[in-house]
Chain A
Amino acid sequence: MPQNEYIEEAIKRYGRRFNHEERMRKREARSVHKNSATAQKLHGLKAKLHNKKRHTEKIEMKKTIKAHEEKNAKTTAPQEPQAGAVPAYLLDRSSQNNAKVLSNMIKQKRKEKAGKWNVPLPKVRGIAEDEMFKVLKTGKRQTKQWKRMVTKVTFVGDGFTRKPPKYERFIRPMGLRFKKANVTHPELGATFTLPMIGVKKNPSSPLYTQLGVITKGTIIEVNVSELGLVTTGGKVVWGKYAQVTNNPENDGCINSVLLV
């Protein structure tokens, strides 16, 4: 047993013998005869062990040969028809698998009433007020501290007009107002940028819902008319709920998952 790699080192340094490949080839070719000779000459316990090993080896060899033969043979045996049947005009066309038809409007309304939703993010960290609002000092001597500025992303809606600035308690800065959200369909895996319709519920507080603040875990309503979804009744679906999955104030975009 070599204790170090001096053999490999020597091979690397000086190379092998000139007839090394041929000798190896011939040795392999002769090994068949050698094996057969030893198998015949062995006796006693050694023979039993050798025969057992050889038997398992032969079984493996036979299996691989048969597998190769099956692969090469061209069979006309009838196979099961594959899934995904398409008519002739859709053959060889990569059809975009759009979302299929959805559950009833009534079912959705019932779920809404019960307030129970199967959402992807059931538990979200609550946002404290001092994290959410920044205190703004106003007044001649900067002593009044009743105004608050929202530090998270908000959604205000189309017809939004600010209250007169003198009476405005909560300020939603324009830079943090977003209209579109990136919505991922959970089954298809495709993501679409869809306009938002409104904020349905912010899990931290109803005050945040009213203000339209969007944080991780908020349920928003998005306009899905682009996807072309139709209910069984034949009506076109144009609004669906989605849950926000990132922290929009850190990323600059709203990523969400559609609730189907």
Chain B
Amino acid sequence: MTTAASPASPAPAAPARTVLAQFRSKDGEPTGPPLQLPVTTTAKELALVLNQLLANDEPLPYTFTVDDDEILTSIDHDVLTKQQKSTEATLIIEYTPQAVFRVRAVTRCGATMTGHADAVLSVHFAPDSRTVASGSGDATVRVWDLDTATPKATLKAHTNWVLCVAWSPDGNTIASGGMDGLVCLWDARSVKGTATKPLAVLKGHRDAVTCLAWEPMHANAACSRLASGSRDGTVRIWDTKSRTTEFALAQHTKAITCVKWGGEGLIYTASRDCSIKTWSANDGKLVRTLAGHGHWVNTMALSSETLLRTGPYDHVSAGKKWSNATEAAEVARERYRTGHKGAERLVSGSDDFTLFLWTPSASKQATTRMTGHQALVNHVTFSPSGARIASASFDKSIKVWDGFTGKFLFGLRGHVGAVYQCVFSADERLLMSASKDSTCKVWDLRTKKLKGDLPGHADEVYAVDWAPDGERACSGSKDRSLKLWRQ
């Protein structure tokens, strides 16, 4: 018996049954020697033992799984009885660290923000979670202040619907792409009232701009490069300082549906010609073509996406200011290095009802093909740490998969209309989804059930986003309003 912290002994009459257990981290490395633990050990006690083994300064929360079944109550209850395992063999207990902070579920509508004259098409929180930008069908972008839930500025420069908005990772610039083929850049810090003069208007695309992606801050401290994908089949990399196109990536034959700028100097583009292409960010050369889908590739997500999007800000540094851009870039780099381990993973969802998990830097063969949806997959997203993938589909369900292997974990049913978008909360315990049936729903990922319903929109909900600090979530709908949700 070599345990450091044994729980209270059972009734003196029967001897305690013990089981041999070996802790193992997520990447397969054993931690500490095999231990003999009583079968009534609970998850909390396992956490105590593990913290001691790892010699952590502060006790960190972990989740424990045996063969992908989580230990919620005790080893006896969850593993031995449920899985019918014997006490003879060594149990391999895998542990994954949980986010230290806990986000409370958003349950009520904090505010409804009206002002747009047409449907709200996209919503994006600033990396410091203070403001949110929304693009709408009335050709304006509105910036809203979250503390007062009032509009901060209206940005008018587009002549047709604004399809996408994106904040730069340092929070200084907003980029908006529209149906008129223009990308407009706005100075986020100094806009107020109605602004009609953007910082820059980037012309070049021949058709609607469908998606935008900024270069991560750790690769470019000044956040001066931006990629935009368009319906004309090309992706343009812009230099925002000189307002010109650095290069254009023109190998796709049909409309581009998604562009992502990775953290390792690669740009990923997904298109309706059923392929995904990887390009080098320095010179725009095609590195790889990832083929495999049978129909339009609708959406992509990167395992490091949340880290790249928020740059130097994390859930505690909401109002922080750095003295200069290089210092902020250093913080962002440090965050990226510690937050993301291993090769970058990419998941793509398509009209052929399947998803693919790729490791683009390693090979052009997909790691896994994830099937199960019964209608097209509209949106996929990685959890902030990259451990889970959620996919929203037009078959009214959301499916959650393992972020490393692509194995199916569980499905969430409850919507009565197509699910348009889904987003994880900052601590990964909650998932929010927006649907065509005009409701948003919050799901608890531990119990795998619906946590709360967020009705109130009068028409389809087109876009949803959760603030990086976890406080609030915002949803934009066809009924021209945005709703802020908080606990």
Contact = CB atoms under 8 A, between A and B. Distances in A.
Contacts of A234: 439, 453-456
B119 A85 contact: yes
Nearest to B164: A88
A81 B116 CA distance: 14
A178 B97 CA distance: 60
A230 B414 CA distance: 12
A88 B163 contact: yes
A87 B122 contact: yes
B453 A88 contact: no
Nearest to B136: A85
Given A88-B211, A89-B257, A228 B416 contact: yes
A100 interface: yes
A91 B458 CA distance: 22
Interface residues of A, number: 22
Contact of B139 (A81, A98, A233): A81
Nearest to B416: A228
B138 A81 contact: yes
Contact of B459 (A82, A92, A101): A101
B453 A98 contact: no
B476 to A, nearest CB: 9
A206 B121 CA distance: 52
B463 A87 contact: yes
Nearest to B437: A230
A89 B298 contact: yes
Interface string A46-87: 000000000000000000000000000000001101111111
Contacts of A233: 455
Interface string A231-248: 011101000000000000
A226 B163 CA distance: 31
B378 interface: yes
Contacts of B255: 91-92
Contacts of B118: 81, 83, 85
Contact of B159 (A81, A98, A236): A81
A78 B121 contact: no
B161 interface: yes
A92 to B, nearest CB: 7
Nearest to B159: A78
B121 A85 contact: yes
Contact of B462 (A79, A82, A83, A87): A87
Interface of A is mostly: loop
A170 to B, nearest CB: 40
Contacts of B420: 87, 89
B438 A230 contact: yes
Interface in A210-256: 228, 230, 232-234, 236
B179 interface: yes
Interface string A152-171: 00000000000000000000
Interface in B114-153: 118-119, 121-122, 136-139
A164 to B, nearest CB: 44
A232 B453 CA distance: 12
B232 to A, nearest CB: 13
Given A81-B118, A230-B439, A98 B257 contact: no
Residue with the highest number of chain B CB atoms closer than 10 Å, among A79, A82, A100, A230:
A230
Contacts of A101: 438, 458-459
B437 A232 contact: no
B208 interface: yes
Contact of B456 (A81, A83, A86, A232): A232
Contacts of B378: 89
B379 interface: yes
Q: Which 5 A-B pairs have the closest CB atoms?
A: A85-B137, A234-B455, A78-B159, A88-B210, A228-B416
Interface of B: 118-119, 121-122, 136-139, 159-161, 163-164, 179-180, 208, 210-211, 231, 255, 257, 298-299, 378-379, 416-417, 420, 436-439, 453-456, 458-459, 462-463
Interface of A: 78-79, 81-89, 91-92, 98, 100-101, 228, 230, 232-234, 236
Given A88-B163, A91-B231, A101-B458, 7 more contacts: A84-B137, A89-B257, A92-B255, A98-B436, A232-B458, A234-B453, A234-B454
23 contacts: A81-B137, A81-B160, A82-B160, A85-B119, A85-B138, A86-B121, A86-B462, A87-B163, A87-B463, A88-B210, A89-B299, A89-B379, A91-B208, A91-B231, A91-B255, A98-B417, A100-B459, A101-B438, A228-B416, A228-B417, A230-B439, A233-B455, A234-B455
